[in-house]
Every structure is written in structure tokens, then in C-alpha cells.
Structure 1
Amino acid sequence: MLELKHQALVEEAQRRGHATVAQLRLCFQLLALSSAIDRDCASRLAPHGLSEGRFIVLFLLHGAGGTLPPHELAERAGVTRATISGLLDGLQRDGLLQRRNDAEDGRRLQIVLTARGKRLAGDLFDQHTQWIGGLFNGLDSREQVQLSLLLEKVWRHTDAGQEAGT
């Protein structure tokens, strides 16, 4: 399950007699799983001409009733305004959304899903969430809760987890 680069690091840690070999292996297993999920996600979205970022914009717009201003989309997606602009350009070229002036304030811009964008966002969101849920079908509900608690416990030892806890 480990990527070759991580397997090499584990083997080197074993050769050097490090006491943390088991923890290294766990970390690298988690990274390998995350990478596999990312690759699978990309391969599922690619036939629709979508990246993960473009998919996120679609489902955020869909969830907001089809309309949001660009700055709010950027904030909700956790990306910069420059990044959201590039994502919007591509989605607009593909006919999935339109940029419109705000009805109340013509200086403000609203991003609006087209009918095609709404259909795609709705269909893909359902497909995507079912696929993600299916990743955990091998775990019963007790194991899922336990995994969640364990992942949260490990997360608290990351820099981000420690910053969030303060």
C-alpha cells in the first residue's frame, strides 16, 4: 500500500533502528490512502471536464441556490480571488455558469449556474457523495466512529491541529 518513496523511508528507518518505524508506516499509509482517493476523485471528475476545484465551485453554487458573488465563492472554497477567477473562466467557457451584474447593485457581480450547470452539479454531487460513502462500506458504524476519533486525535498533533486548539 505504501508508495515507493515512503517504503524507502520506512526501510531506512528500520535499518537505522529508529523506534518510530510503526508510526512512520501509519503516516505513510494515510498519505497513500489520501493520494489514492485524490487520484480516484480526479478520474471520476475528468470525463465531465472538471477538476476538484471546478467541481467545488459548481456544488457551492448549486447549494446556494445557483447564485453567489465571486468573493464569497472564493471564501467558501478556501481559495484566493485570483484562483476563483480562473476556475470561473473555465466553467463559463464550458457553459456551466454565467457572470451577471447584481440586480440591486450593478457594480457587483453575481455568478449564476446555467441550466446545464445545475443539472451537472446535482447529478455529480449525488454520484460523488455515494462514491465517497462507499469507501467506508467495509467499516461498520462503530468502526467508522472509532476511525473518526483516531484521525481527530492524530490531527491534534499536527501544527494546524495545535493552532486550532489554542
Structure 2
Amino acid sequence: MYSDFNFKSDPKKINLLAEKFPHVDPQSLSTLALFIQTAHEVYNGVCSRLSEYGLSIGSLKILIPLYLHERALTPSELAEYSGVTRSTVTSVIDKLERDGIIRRSTLVDRRMTAIYLTEEGRQLMTERIPMFIQLFSDLLKEFTKEDHVHFAGMLQKLSTGLERIKRE
């Protein structure tokens, strides 16, 4: 069960693993377990708050570029801005369209689909999204400017490590 992998509250489990696998650095494993658990809690907390408005992180990845660019975007552009696949964008667009937050249209040459925010979508972005942005910002309220720089550098190192193990 997933909860059995929660080393955050029980360093004894880390030490047991280190005994069984002496080549594993217990501090690295402990730090990674804490990161995974915290990231999971942050993700779930953010998702829970967004769901109160029928939104998801995926929907924000579509809505924010539409709001920021203040023009229609194609599904391909939204996929590129969002860093997700075109099929993922399509399923999110379908839901947002059903909810009346966006609408599809065609561009001038009629070969490409254009995605627009509806009036309800614009209202959502101007009234509700600032609360979410503030919520995200408040997660790191205790950080100093130096903490932000240090944390970003550490996350970049983690990302580099992840890319390395993907190649191996």
C-alpha cells in the first residue's frame, strides 16, 4: 500500500532499507521520500481547492495561456504552452467547453480550430484565479529571497538527476 512507503514520519524505515541496500545513501533516500510526500500533499491540496470550482491543474494549463494572450489559441499552441500532449489538451478543452468556460470556433482559413474564453471564462479568470495564484504564493510565504533561489537550484538539480536516470 502507498502509505507504507511514507518514510516522512519514520526514519527507522529508511535505516532498514539502508541496511538491506548498503549502496543506497540513507540521507538521499530520506530527502527524496520527504520531497515526494510533500509534493503529493501540495498537489492534492491544490487539486482540492481547484475542484471547489470544477477546475483542475490541467484546466489551468489551458485557461492561463488563453487569459494571458487575450486572443484565441489553437489546440497545438495550448499544448505547447502547457507542456502536455495534444490529446490531453483536447480532453481538457472538451470538459471546459461543456462547462461553458471556453468555446471552439474556426480561424479565418477554417482549417484550424480556435479556442476562446467565454464571458464566464473571463469572469472566472479575473475573479477566482487571482485567489488561486495567491494561494500558490502563500505556500512559500516563509521563504526568504535567498530560500527561493536555493530551492529553485535544488529543484533544478533534482530535475537534472531525473533526466539522467531516464537516459540510463
- Of 47, 53, 57 in structure 2, the residue corresponding to residue 48 of structure 1 is 53
Q: Sort the Cα spacing of 1:82 and 1:150 in 2 relative to 1 into closer, same or farther, 3 A.
A: closer
Q: Which amino acid aligns with 2:116?
A: V
Q: Which amino acid aligns with 2:84?
A: V
1:15-164 aligned at under 5 Å gives the runs 15-16=19-20, 18=22, 20-102=25-107, 104-159=108-163
Determine the C-alpha separation between the residues in 2 that align with 1:160 and 1:135.
29
| Stretches of structure 1 lacking an aligned partner (at least 5 in a row) | none
| Identical positions, percent | 24
Q: How many residues align structurally?
A: 160
Determine the C-alpha separation between the residues in 2 that align with 1:126 and 1:50.
14
- Compute the TM-score of the two structures, normalised by the length of structure 2: 0.83
Determine the C-alpha separation between the residues in 2 that align with 1:99 and 1:109.
7
Q: Is the 8 A contact 1:45 1:51 kept in 2?
A: yes
Superposed CA RMSD in Å reads 2.3
Q: Is the 8 A contact 1:57 1:73 kept in 2?
A: yes
| Stretches of structure 2 lacking an aligned partner (at least 5 in a row) | none
- Compute the TM-score of the two structures, normalised by the length of structure 1: 0.84
Residues 109-163 of structure 1: CA deviation (Å, up to 9, x unaligned):
1111101101112333322221111111122222222222222233322226997
Determine the C-alpha separation between the residues in 1 that align with 2:157 and 2:73.
35
Q: Which amino acid aligns with 1:148?
A: A
Query: 2:5 — aligned with what?
Result: 5
Name the SS for the 2:161 alignment partner.
coil
